[in-house]
Amino acid sequence: MSQSDLLAEAGAARALLAHFTARGASAVEPGILMPADTLIDLYGEDLRARAYTCADSLRDAQMLRPDFTVGVAQAHIASGAESGRYAYAGPVFRQQDADPGRPSEYQQAGLEIFGGADPHLAEAEVFAAMVEITSPLGLRAVFGDIGLLTAAIDGLSTSAPRKAALLRHIWRPRRFRALLDRFAGRKTPPAARARLLENLENGADVFASAGPQIGLRSRAEISARIDRLQADAAEPPISERDVVLLEQLLALRDTAPAAAEQLRDIAVDLPAIAPAVARFTARLDALAQHGIDLASLEFEASYGRTTLEYYDGFVFGLTVPGRPDLPAVVTGGRYDALTRVLGGGAPCPAVGAAIRVQVGRDLAAERGVQWP
Amino acid sequence: MDKTFDWFAARGVTLARTGSDREYAGAVSGIDGVELVLLSAGEIPRELDAGRIHLGVTGSDLVREKLPNWDDAVTELEPMGFGHADLILAVPRCWVDVDTVSDLDAAAAGFRAEHGFRLRIATKYHRLIREYLKREGVADYQLVDSQGATEGTVKNLTAEAIADITSTGETLRANHLKILSDGVVHRSQATLFKSRRAPWSDGERATLAALTARLERQAG
């Protein structure tokens, strides 16, 4: 990309920042270098394939920031403020192994809201701000709600460890599917598991031929998992009816008002999701208050399950219609779990969204409109 | 190298070293227009990717590990039937509760909750292992780099599990490790690769056609 293109992209990002600060957000500028350990611990090993890791001869390895969210959240938590509304703009860095055509240094601009009395109003505010600023681009809005999925899993009549295993893998649909099939008795446990349980049943010493105890994972931890496996084997399968309801929920795709209608129907059979459905409806009301046309808003229950692990509630994207090859111009959502980890366990409601500036600019050029 | 020379010799192409046996120089006879370059197996993927060599013999594991989207960069012309080694995931034998990748995932969840950090897997095959574990949906792990003596890392408390190349499993057993029953990540062997990125002149294409005809005749 030429020097003037980079300048124009950065200029557009600054203009977006100015737009958000003019509407009451404080500008923040987190550093570009971030400790790699912190990010890997939060996001997982996959991040290493996407982010640039740099050696540092004095400190542990650093990463070029892959996004602003962690830096902004850390700055907010360090400030000790109860609530805050921040905007930012600047370059982020991603390796593009899977998509060599995409730039690996590009501008993001975004908005993050922490705290606040009403979580739905904060969500609606971020969403509406993003819809407003991108309105010349003709984007398609789609949203999901991880909170509905967690409520549905919590409501299954099965053991706590099984629920925990399913909750943990909401963001890894393949493993989720495999677990659900096993817990529902659709698949038999692997042969080695059956053998282990049989040996335990017969009172055999399962450690007899297992060699010496080595490594950090202790005998007590291994024994504790064996106890869990035995308890799990005695657990009745999740009922076919519950599995079908869960699958119905996961497959739900419709406009927001129609989805709300269907969710209320599912809640009749799966009462555990009723509070989450009430929150869903309250959020729609908040969105309507912010002038969002609900009829053109698409809900996909599984949206955000594959790529956006740290979003754990409301999650949304503003995408380019008919162009699945392009990344979403805007992605955002709620990430309370992430701020809880960063804050050492203290809850800190957080919702935000980021704009891929250049994708928006290219689109504006294509459509012959002025943006931002 | 000797096995590579034998493999080509069986197909009527003679590769030989020239000069002293310490000099990395070679000669080719039995076919025109082929020049021999002797390189470390680990560097051959990069050279193929850069298009500085047209053909290369190296392990299929190395190509997959070192090249992102390896099949855009090279094509596999012939698996050569030697240099067999499996890239595997292994855990301590004392983990009697762990037999599959799914068990490893469950152990990782428990380990992180107990110890406050992600379960560590020592390996030098970062890309292959990360892609495999992503595909399998394993969470709560991290990779730690180990360029050698990887089987010792568990006993030395620098990792909880390992991912490495093994041919007989002898070293694993000696270090009280066992392979996960579904933990074979890649079955590697020496393979003749063709660069998709190298410039191919008409003359070079003709040479390649002559060479592959020779290889196919043998295979048939």
CA distance B185 to chain A (A): 17
Q: Is B158 exposed, middle or buried (0-12, 13-18, 19+ CB in 10 A)?
A: middle
Q: Is residue A178 part of a domain?
A: no
Q: Which residues touch A213 (CB under 8 Å, ≥6 apart)?
A: A219, B92, B94
**Gap between the Cα atoms of A221 and A217, Å rounded:** 6
Choose the final residue of a domain: A284, A309, A334: A309
Least confident range from A29-43, A53-67, B206-220: namely B206-220
pLDDT at residue A307, as a whole number: 67
**Gap between the Cα atoms of A26 and A5, Å rounded:** 27
Preferred mutation among B67, B69, B91, B96 to probe A, highest tally of A CBs within 10 A? B96
Contacts of B126 in chain A (CB under 8 A): 48
Considering only CA atoms, which of A130, A127, A43 is closest in space to residue A309? A43
The H or E element that residue A350 is part of is strand A350-356
Helices (H), chain B: 2-9, 44-50, 60-66, 70-73, 101-115, 126-136, 170-174, 202-219
Question: Among all chains, which residue has been given the structure tokens 């020779």?
Answer: B214
pLDDT at residue A99, as a whole number: 82
CB A86 within 8 A of CB A112: yes
Q: Are residue A150 and residue A276 in the same domain, yes or no?
A: yes
Q: Is residue A334 part of a domain?
A: yes
CATH code, domain with A103 = 3.30.930.10
pLDDT at residue B23, as a whole number: 76
Q: Are residue A284 and residue A155 in the same domain, yes or no?
A: yes
Percent of chain B with pLDDT over 90: 88
Choose the final residue of a domain: A288, A309, A330: A309
Q: Are residue A145 and residue A278 in the same domain, yes or no?
A: yes
Q: Which of helix, strand or coil describes residue A101? A: coil
Strand partners, B122: B144, B162
Among the partner-chain residues A172, A173, A207, the one whose CB lies closest to the CB of B139 is A172
CB–CB contact B160 A216 (8 Å): yes
Least confident range from A18-32, A334-348, B94-108: namely A334-348
Strand partners, B138: none
CB–CB contact A211 B176 (8 Å): yes
Which pLDDT band holds residue A123 (cuts at 50, 70, 90)?
Answer: very high
How many beta-carbon contacts under 8 Å exist across A and B? 110
Amino acid of residue A122: A
CA distance B79 to chain A (A): 26
CB A96 within 8 A of CB A103: yes
Q: Are residue A104 and residue A15 in the same domain, yes or no?
A: yes
Considering only CA atoms, which of B201, B182, B217 is closest in space to residue B54? B201
Q: Is residue A314 part of a domain?
A: no
**Gap between the Cα atoms of B145 and B159, Å rounded:** 10
Which pTM was predicted? Answer: 0.93
Q: Is A239 exposed, middle or buried (0-12, 13-18, 19+ CB in 10 A)?
A: middle
Each residue's pLDDT tens digit, B22-41: 777 788 998 999 999 999 99
Contacts of B95 in chain A (CB under 8 A): 210, 217, 222
CB A51 within 8 A of CB A94: yes
Q: Are residue A103 and residue A31 in the same domain, yes or no?
A: yes
Q: Are residue A272 and residue A362 in the same domain, yes or no?
A: no
Considering only CA atoms, which of A176, A341, A329 is closest in space to residue A249? A176
Q: Which residues touch B181 (CB under 8 Å, ≥6 apart)?
A: A190, A192, B99, B100
Integer CA distances (angstroms), A236 to A47, A77, A163, A169, B185, in order? 38, 44, 14, 21, 34
* Domains: count for chain A: 3
Residue A140 has pLDDT above 70, yes or no: yes
Q: Are residue A330 and residue A218 in the same domain, yes or no?
A: no
Integer CA distances (angstroms), A150 to A13, A147, A171, A248, A275, in order? 35, 5, 11, 14, 12
Residue A294 lies in domain: 140-172+238-309
pLDDT at residue A308, as a whole number: 63
User: Does residue B151 sit at the A interface (CB-CB below 8 Å)?
Assistant: no
Least confident range from A10-14, A131-135, A188-192, B118-122: namely A188-192
Q: Are residue A66 and residue A156 in the same domain, yes or no?
A: no
Task: Output DSSP code: residue A88.
Answer: E
Which pLDDT band holds residue B178 (cuts at 50, 70, 90)?
Answer: very high
Helix and strand tally (H, E) in chain A?
A: 15, 12
Task: Output DSSP code: residue A237.
Answer: P
CB–CB contact B134 A213 (8 Å): no
Residue in chain A nearest B111 by alpha carbon = A217
Residue B220 has pLDDT above 60, yes or no: no
Contacts of A192 in chain B (CB under 8 A): 99-100, 181
**Gap between the Cα atoms of B170 and A69, Å rounded:** 47
**Gap between the Cα atoms of A57 and A268, Å rounded:** 60
**Gap between the Cα atoms of A284 and B110, Å rounded:** 38
pLDDT at residue A323, as a whole number: 92
Q: Is residue A6 part of a domain?
A: yes
Each residue's pLDDT tens digit, A44-70: 998 988 999 999 999 999 999 999 999
**Gap between the Cα atoms of A115 and A102, Å rounded:** 35
Which pLDDT band holds residue B189 (cuts at 50, 70, 90)?
Answer: very high
**Gap between the Cα atoms of B118 and A39, Å rounded:** 12
Q: Are residue A224 and residue A276 in the same domain, yes or no?
A: no
Strand partners, A54: A62
Q: Are residue A226 and residue A339 in the same domain, yes or no?
A: no
Considering only CA atoms, which of A42, A59, A66 is closest in space to residue A342? A42
Q: Are residue A109 and residue A214 in the same domain, yes or no?
A: no
CA distance A49 to chain B (A): 8
* Phi and psi, residue A3, nearest 5°: -60, -45
Length of chain B: 220
Strand partners, B88: B164, B184
User: Does residue B155 sit at the A interface (CB-CB below 8 Å)?
Assistant: yes
Residue A336 has pLDDT above 80, yes or no: yes
Q: Are residue A305 and residue A329 in the same domain, yes or no?
A: no
Q: Is residue A181 part of a domain?
A: no
Pairing verdict, β B161-166 and B119-123 = parallel
Q: List, in order of start, the domains of chain B with CATH numbers.
A: 2-83+189-219 (3.40.190.10), 85-188 (3.40.190.10)
For residue A372, cis peptide bond before it (omega within 30 degrees of 0): yes
